[in-house]
Amino acid sequence: MKTIFYRISRNRSSDSEAIEKAGDIIRTGGLVALPTETVYGLGASAYSPQAAEKIYAAKGRPSDNPLIVHVSEPESAERVAHTSDLFYNLARSFMPGPLTVILPKKSCIPNEVTGGLDTVAVRCPSNEIARRIIEASGVPVAAPSANSSGKPSPTTASHVLHDLDGKIDMIVDGGDCEIGVESTVISISGDKCRILRPGAVSADQLGMVCGEVEVDEAVIDPSLAGDHPKSPGMKYRHYSPEANIILVDGGREKFIDYVNGNAGENDGVFTDRNTAEQFSCKTLVTGERGTADEFTHNLYALLRCADELSLKNVYVQLPPSSDKYLALYNRIIRAAGGNIVRL
Ligand code: TXA
Ligand code: MG
């Protein structure tokens, strides 16, 4: 299959044609990679079981891992799910934006999209190009991250091209994703919510709308997800580069000494800009010191970079698991697959 690659630069009249084209492809059962504020998504009609199968095939993803359904306005959630007061309270504060809410599904959404569950994950992205494409398609859009299964999610169109060229109909390039990790996924019941996957919408923020916010134990320790996790995505080893990620839990000075004492020629380290020159091995710069957002934004590109450099081991200092760092912490421990050295 020949993949159409189209770069959108705002205010060009031909962009409307590209958006219409992307919408047509989705409506008629094809696959389009599109930018969102979190990561690039691989969009297809959420009404089509065949299109869902195509997504699983293109990504090489197990078909019991359900897809998020994207809508262009929060009210369109009604088309796919049974909503509630709490859903609309959350929507008023966080939608459009990086929040996904699990709701009871309506029968128009096929089992192929939800991995056989009777619930559906609903999200209204804030990225303008994404919303225009969803609107142009006229259907709700099922979209997982547009990476090969198991690889870091794509935060640029060239990441998508690398993983999916020749396997999908179109890639719409809308530039770098602002946030860099996937949306916060929550389940709700009454006035309570539970975080199944942490993202840019934090527990503290959710607490301003929900009566109670719980963080699922598998967010902190993925090994607790077991065989029947609340969010099937939790059980897969995700976000992994080929390189071996070695997490080091200890203060900065100890971390520097440990890396300099252990890293070989083909090894690298994630470091803030200020500390980079203290390492003797290859350095991959995460941003300024102490900036969780900048590190989060750069994380997946850096994991891909580690592979381009054919690094064998990459040393990463374990970030805190506090609210501000929780999304980063969760992605890094999963990329490391439990490989933690405690100093
Ligand atoms: O930011 C995002 O959410 C991106 C962009 C493209 O929107 N999408 C994304 O989709 O990350 P995906 O498929 O890579 O991750 C979906 C996550 C998985 O962990 C899946 O298990 C969970 O959401 N999920 C989907 N439907 C669910 C459901 N009905 N119940 C529980 N978890 C669900
Ligand atoms: Mg994904």
Ligand with minimal distance to 155 CA? 1
Ligand with minimal distance to 71 CA? 1
Q: How many whole angstroms from its chain centre is CA 46? A: 18
Structural contact between residues 3 and 22, judged by C-beta atoms closer than 8 angstroms: no
Sign of CA dihedral 223, 227, 228, 234: positive
Q: What is the pLDDT of residue 290?
A: 83
pLDDT digits (tens, 9 = 90+) for 216-243: 999 988 877 766 567 766 665 567 788 9
Ligand 1: atom nearest CA of 117 is: 29
pLDDT digits (tens, 9 = 90+) for 173-186: 999 999 999 999 99
Structural contact between residues 167 and 147, judged by C-beta atoms closer than 8 angstroms: no
Lowest-pLDDT choice from 135-139, 149-153, 306-310: 149-153
Query: What gap in Å lies between CA 143 and CA 288, rounded to an integer?
Result: 32
Type of residue at 144: P
Residue 314: HSE in the Cβ half-sphere, 13 Å Cα cutoff: 30
Calculate how far, in angstroms, residue 235's C-alpha sits from the geometric centre of ligand 2.
12
Structural contact between residues 333 and 269, judged by C-beta atoms closer than 8 angstroms: no
| Protein residue closest via CA to atom 13 of ligand 1 | 144
Tell me how far CA of residue 280 lies from CA of 218, 260, 272, 300, in angstroms: 35, 6, 14, 23
pLDDT digits (tens, 9 = 90+) for 245-269: 999 999 999 999 999 999 999 999 9
Residues with CB under 6 A from ligand 1: 36, 38-39, 41, 65-68, 100, 102, 114, 117, 119-121, 123, 125, 143-145, 182-183, 185, 196-197, 231-233
Query: What gap in Å lies between CA 163 and CA 229, rounded to an integer?
Result: 27
pTM: 0.96
Query: What gap in Å lies between CA 318 and CA 25, rounded to an integer?
Result: 43
pLDDT digits (tens, 9 = 90+) for 159-176: 999 999 999 999 999 999
> Which backbone phi and psi does 8 adopt, to 5 degrees?
-90, 125
Cα angle for residues 78, 93, 97 (degrees, 5° grid):
75
Query: What gap in Å lies between CA 80 and CA 89, rounded to an integer?
Result: 18
Ligand with minimal distance to 121 CA? 1
pLDDT digits (tens, 9 = 90+) for 50-81: 999 999 999 998 888 899 999 999 999 999 99
Ligand 1: atom nearest CA of 234 is: 19
Tell me how far CA of residue 309 lies from CA of 275, 281, 287, 306, 314, in angstroms: 21, 13, 19, 5, 11
Query: What gap in Å lies between CA 5 and CA 40, rounded to an integer?
Result: 14
Structural contact between residues 199 and 185, judged by C-beta atoms closer than 8 angstroms: yes
More confident residue, 337 or 164: 164
Closest-CA residue to 245 (of 270, 281, 208)? 270
